[in-house]
Structure 1
Amino acid sequence: MHTLILSISFSVLVSVFLKLARRCQVRVDQAIAMNYVTACALCLWLLRPPLESLGRQTPSGWVLLVLLGVLLPAVFLIMAAAVRQAGIVLSDTAQRLSLIIPVLAAFLVFHEALSGTKGLGILLALGALACLLRRPVAQDAGATPGAPPPPAMPSGEPIQTGRRIWLPLLGVWAGYGLIDILFKQMARTGSGFTSTLLLSFSLAGVLMGLWLLIRRTQWHARSLASGVLLGALNFGNIYFYIRAHQTYPENPTLVFAAMNIGVISIGALVGAGLFRERLSRTNLAGIGLALAAIVLLFPR
């Protein structure tokens, strides 16, 4: 259970960092780019992946690392587009509801047995999400490891309406859900996940760097330095998330649900305590439902 607790804790710290970063005028896109550089360095230093085997991935391993390397920075860009076109509230809701995708995958792809207790736990988890999403101000916490929360809405920029706003929202929903599934698949590779993780971080960093260069970004020293801290927190989040899947290989629903509702619940409490964000009775009920869902989903 400690792997889940550590992963949730690091994820909440990432959200706190990003909330404070915006207040300190840190450019989040540059911090995220440096985050991948730091994550690569920590992966090499702490996990010591066998460098001689980096190029000898299995076909499925190459598919996995390419998908992660592309999705990690791409989902950030899609989220930014969703916030511009649909606003923070709808974008945040789409991210939260992505929990449905990995939960379905747990039964359809990873062949987890569905019992009455687990079914009730899933229903409570969805109810908790509904309660926690009823907030007067959209939150910054991001549940999916490695993927950042929505950026702040530019002042005075109108939110677009119409059918086309659903395209980026659909991308957010599918992207975050798919990343969860890919991390579960990475966990199934055993000790070989360290090489795949390093290559995924490397590809994500290269693509994010190229995107910034194409935009002719004016580099900001404070933002790049802050990215080192962000990378350390994000690395801990992803590493312990994968370890949690390895600890509970037969119960992916527990990891998927606990990670999402755990981050949202603890993030809500941290937001109320540190940033004086208001919690309604519905939010508090959601936290209670979340705890009940985790208890029901925990293997016996």
Structure 2
Amino acid sequence: MYLLFSILCSTLIFVIFKALRKYNINTLQVIALNYIVASLIGVLAFNEPITSANTLHASWFLGAVFLGFLFISIFFVMALTAQKNGVSVASVASKMSVVIPIVFGIYVYHESASFQKITGIVLALVAVYLTSIKGTSEINLKKNLLLPAVLFLGSGTIDTSIKYIETTYVPENGIPIFSATIFGIAAILGVITLMVKKDLKIIPKALFGGLLLGVVNYGSIYFLLKALDHELFESSTLFTVNHVGIVMLSTLVGLFLFKEHLTKKNWFGITLAIIAIILVTLA
């Protein structure tokens, strides 16, 4: 259930970013507001008194600062990619990065690497690539690949760091405050950015967008951390299923909700994604 909720919340993030452009809502304002909301949710979900010992002096604090900086930077890149390249391309660019935490898990944590599992992972990467191919689009390095490339590297670093910090430093009951701290750092950076750009006049639509995105964003990270904390799946398996599931769902949402055109290769990619999930999970 944690894994399914994480996939659903992550897909809704792409939908919200697409809607921001449709209704001409200030993306940066919504991103900054969303992190404030997400941080407050984490604080409210933490059932212990908040002290310097379990925040500023916690062993995971510097990691949370690093992740907070990455979150808002990559989140903004994700928004631009979804708006300029489409929902499915943004999803694909971020989810192809699954190869980074997969390799990390196998190499550092000595997770299993059976033939069936490796076959499933390879099929997953092929599936993700095929869903990104647009039959009528021309390849332009600056327009089509720069933003997805940055999104790929940043997303891979975030996933790998989350797994490492959660496993090494975060106690079982510390996930809400750990999440809240990450979002709090991102919120501070977002507000500073708005102040520098003198863009502090918030309209009601941006407030609503920030509230909605904040709830969904917190859910995507909280449920992912809870899934990673479970002993049922290895991280390499969980990340594969999570990422490919998001790609499948967001691509279908792009088709039915935003009328994005899917080619035969896109559909073949979705089929391969289903096969990959089955292979990796059963392995």
The two structures have a TM-score, normalised by structure 2, of: 0.85
Q: Using the TM superposition, give the Cα deviation of residue 96 of structure 1 relative to its aligned residue in structure 2, in angstroms.
A: 3.9
- How many residues get paired? 271
- Structure 2, unpaired ranges of 5+: none
What amino acid does structure 2 have at the position aligned with 1:13? Answer: L
Change (3 A) 1:174 1:49: farther
Please point out which of 203, 209, 233 is paired with 2:216: 233
- Offset, 1:136: 4.9
Counterpart in the other structure of 1:116: 115
Does the CA-based 8 Å contact 1:112-1:250 persist in structure 2?
A: no
Shift of 1:46: 2.5
Distance 1:184 1:49, change over 3 A: farther
Q: Which residue of 2 aligns with 1:199?
A: 181
Supply the distance in 2 between the matched residues of 1:32 and 1:224 (Cα, whole angstroms). 10
Q: Aligned residue for 1:256?
A: 239
Letter in 2 for 1:73: I
Q: Which residue of 1 aligns with 2:2?
A: 3
Q: Residues of 2 paired with 1:185 and 1:191: CA distance?
A: 17
Query: The residue matched to 1:176 in structure 2 has which SS?
Result: helix
Matches within 5 A, 1:278-293: 278-293=261-276
CA distance 1:297–1:192, shift in 2 (3 Å):
same
Counterpart amino acid of residue 38 in structure 1:
V
Question: Which residue type is aligned with residue 198 of structure 1?
Answer: A
Q: 2:220 and 2:201 mapped to 1: Cα distance?
A: 26
Equivalent-residue separation in structure 2 for 1:136 and 1:13 (angstroms): 25
Q: Distance in 2 between matches of 1:126 and 1:12?
A: 18
Q: Name the counterpart of 1:126.
A: 125
Q: Deviations over 1:219-244 (max 9, x none)?
A: 23221232011101111111111111
> Structure 1 residue 299: deviation in Å?
5.0
* Alignment pair present for 1:54 and 2:55: yes
Q: CA deviation at 1:180?
A: 0.7
State whether structure 2 residue 28 is matched by structure 1 residue 17: no
Correspondence 1:170-249 to 2 at 5 A: 171-188=150-167, 189=170, 190-221=172-203, 222-248=205-231
Report how far residue 117 of structure 1 moved: 1.3
Contact 1:245 1:252 in 2 (8 A): yes
Deviates most, 234-243 or 188-197: 188-197
Percent identity of paired positions between Structure 1 and Structure 2: 28
Please, which runs of 5 or more residues in structure 1 have no aligned partner? 139-158
Q: Is the CA contact (8 Å cut-off) linking 2:18 and 2:82 kept in structure 1?
A: no
Aligned 8 A contact 1:253 1:297 in 2: no
SS of 2:229's equivalent in the other structure is helix
Which amino acid in the other structure matches residue 118 of structure 1? K
> Separation in 2 of the partners of 1:10 and 1:107?
27
2:85 matches 1:88:
yes
Superposition deviation, residue 268 in structure 1: 1.3
Q: Which residue of 1 aligns with 2:256?
A: 273
How far apart, in 1, do the equivalents of 2:163 and 2:182 lie? Answer: 14
